[in-house]
């Protein structure tokens, strides 16, 4: 019994012998539990911190989509690297575009001084009020050919081709056009389009070539960011010397319209194939140069009295017939702008919402000299109010106008081809 009692004392009363094995085990267990609790606590804190950071990033991303574009580019992206990374990401650019902050406006090119070109964003469609942003386009780019989702397409006198985002001040040199025996009219034969739902831009080109026994339309594509070569995609037999009478028209969706003297060729931007071909009514052949896009519909503006009045027709692709949509004119240009104009040289440029933008040369005797240098005045006509206004924000002179949006969409970054300018 004494031995047993002594043994029990040794086990449960260890004050004279330090910690016994059982006590050490119990102490280690408590320490391990405490350690696990600390680890779990630290892990929980880390998770909360990460979640908080992610929330801040998502919140920052969401807030930035409501900030005006000029503020993002001129202020916000210079705050810190995190803000700059968010604003410069392709994911944010697409989200910003979906929130409709990249608003429609007019790109105005000064044909005499390209570096003085500018962008006019619509503020009031009815009264033709704009907000102007000057763009320092390098003169080496040449003349504007087309624009799509904030990306401009240029070609200079040396037949060099460029695409650029004037807001981000980046540009890309494109390989030369395929060699053709026929002289090319760049604005009639080349355009830029974007695959719906993606950030992929494509350049499309059509050439008119003569074979041994036939004439051919040869269509090419260059996929920006995927390859940098022109690839032939379609070859279609063409009537004898039947050329394209106006620039290709892009619907902004998936349809690209090539308009010849006799037909409309509809190409699928994504699949890069000809989807449909429609013969043109005889009355449209001569006046095809006045074709404009009205949403996803093809419109034609015609005149039968020497450009004093105009009729707007919509082409029905199912029937192949034209239906009258609207009549406009005659216009009192002197009352509108205070100058006589050459009404026989009216040039319709684009159709945006309810506004038709067109230009008319100003008469020489109003310019104040005898120089053959004729300057243009741009007008806006509202098909709803039937109001004609002079677009005072577009200077009188040698200016080309096309539909444009300022956008954060960037060009693919390649070390040899992408350039920036100040």
107 shares a domain with 80 = no
Identify the bridge partners of residue 163 per DSSP, sorted by sequence position.
153, 172
234 shares a domain with 117 = yes
In this prediction, residue 131 carries a pLDDT of 84
In this prediction, residue 381 carries a pLDDT of 93
Examine residue 370 and state whether it is found in any structural domain, yes or no: yes
Q: Is the overall model pTM greater than 0.85, yes or no?
A: no
Examine residue 152 and state whether it is found in any structural domain, yes or no: yes
Final residue of a domain: which of 39, 73, 101? 101
123 shares a domain with 63 = no
In this prediction, residue 352 carries a pLDDT of 84
Local structure of residue 144 (DSSP, 8 states): E
35 shares a domain with 184 = no
Question: Which secondary-structure segment (H or E) carries 366?
Answer: helix 364-367
Question: Which secondary-structure segment (H or E) carries 327?
Answer: strand 321-328
180 shares a domain with 90 = no
* Cα distances (Å, whole numbers) of residue 91 to 14, 83, 335: 68, 14, 49
Examine residue 176 and state whether it is found in any structural domain, yes or no: yes
In this prediction, residue 283 carries a pLDDT of 61
Final residue of a domain: which of 43, 70, 101? 101
User: How many independent structural domains does the chain possess?
Assistant: 2
Examine residue 172 and state whether it is found in any structural domain, yes or no: yes
Final residue of a domain: which of 101, 130, 159? 101
171 shares a domain with 78 = no
232 shares a domain with 137 = yes
Identify the bridge partners of residue 325 per DSSP, sorted by sequence position.
none
178 shares a domain with 94 = no
Examine residue 19 and state whether it is found in any structural domain, yes or no: no
290 shares a domain with 241 = yes
234 shares a domain with 337 = yes
- Reading the chain (422 residues) residue by residue, the pLDDT tens digits are 444 333 333 333 333 444 444 344 455 555 554 555 555 555 555 545 544 544 576 777 777 888 877 788 788 888 888 888 888 877 788 777 777 556 778 999 988 887 788 999 877 655 557 888 888 888 888 889 999 988 999 988 888 899 999 888 888 898 888 876 666 677 788 999 999 877 789 999 998 888 778 888 899 999 998 888 999 999 998 877 666 778 899 988 899 999 887 888 999 999 999 998 888 776 665 555 588 888 778 888 888 788 889 989 888 877 777 788 999 989 999 999 988 888 888 999 998 888 899 999 988 654 444 445 678 999 999 999 999 999 989 989 888 898 888 888 887 765 445 676 65
87 shares a domain with 199 = no
Domain that holds residue 89: 25-101
The enclosing domain of 127 has a CATH number of 2.120.10
In this prediction, residue 10 carries a pLDDT of 33
In this prediction, residue 53 carries a pLDDT of 47
Examine residue 414 and state whether it is found in any structural domain, yes or no: yes
Examine residue 11 and state whether it is found in any structural domain, yes or no: no
In this prediction, residue 284 carries a pLDDT of 60
136 shares a domain with 85 = no
Examine residue 197 and state whether it is found in any structural domain, yes or no: yes
């Amino acid at each position: 019994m004494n031995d047993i009692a002594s043994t029990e004392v040794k086990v449960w009363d260890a004050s004279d012998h330090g910690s016994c094995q059982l006590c050490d085990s119990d102490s280690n267990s408590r320490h391990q539990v405490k350690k696990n609790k600390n680890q779990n606590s630290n892990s929980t804190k880390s998770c909360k911190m990460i979640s908080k950071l992610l929330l801040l990033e998502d919140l920052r991303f969401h807030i930035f989509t409501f900030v005006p574009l000029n503020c993002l580019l001129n202020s916000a992206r210079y705050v810190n690297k995190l803000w700059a990374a968010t604003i410069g990401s392709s994911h944010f650019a697409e989200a910003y575009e979906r929130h409709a902050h990249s608003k429609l406006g007019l790109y105005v090119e000064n044909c005499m001084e390209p570096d003085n070109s500018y962008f006019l964003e619509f503020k009031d469609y009815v009264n033709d009020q704009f907000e102007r942003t000057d763009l320092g386009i390098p003169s080496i780019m040449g003349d504007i050919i087309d624009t799509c989702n904030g990306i401009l397409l240029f070609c200079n006198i040396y037949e060099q081709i460029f695409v650029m985002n004037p807001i981000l001040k980046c540009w890309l040199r494109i390989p030369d056009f395929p060699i053709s025996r026929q002289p090319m009219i760049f604005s009639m034969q080349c355009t830029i389009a974007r695959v719906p739902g993606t950030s992929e831009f494509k350049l499309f080109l059509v050439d008119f070539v003569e074979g041994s026994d036939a004439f051919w339309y040869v269509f090419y594509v260059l996929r920006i960011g995927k390859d940098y070569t022109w690839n032939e995609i379609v070859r279609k037999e063409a009537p004898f010397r039947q050329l394209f009478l106006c620039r290709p028209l892009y619907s902004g969706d998936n349809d690209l319209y090539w308009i010849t003297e006799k037909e409309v060729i509809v190409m699928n931007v994504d699949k890069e194939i000809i989807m449909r071909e429609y013969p043109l009514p005889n009355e449209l052949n001569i006046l095809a140069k006045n074709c404009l896009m009205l949403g996803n519909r093809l419109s034609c503006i015609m005149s039968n009295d020497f450009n004093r009045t105009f009729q707007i027709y919509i082409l029905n692709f199912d029937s192949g017939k034209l239906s009258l949509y609207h009549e406009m004119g005659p216009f009192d240009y002197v009352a509108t702008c205070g100058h006589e104009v050459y009404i026989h040289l009216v040039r319709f440029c684009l159709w945006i919402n309810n506004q038709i933008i067109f230009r008319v040369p100003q008469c020489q005797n109003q310019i104040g000299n005898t120089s053959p240098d004729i300057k243009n005045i741009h007008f806006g006509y509202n098909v709803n109010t039937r109001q004609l206004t002079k677009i005072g924000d577009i200077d009188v002179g040698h200016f080309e106008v096309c539909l444009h949006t300022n956008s954060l969409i960037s060009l693919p970054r390649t070390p040899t081809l992408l350039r920036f300018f100040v």
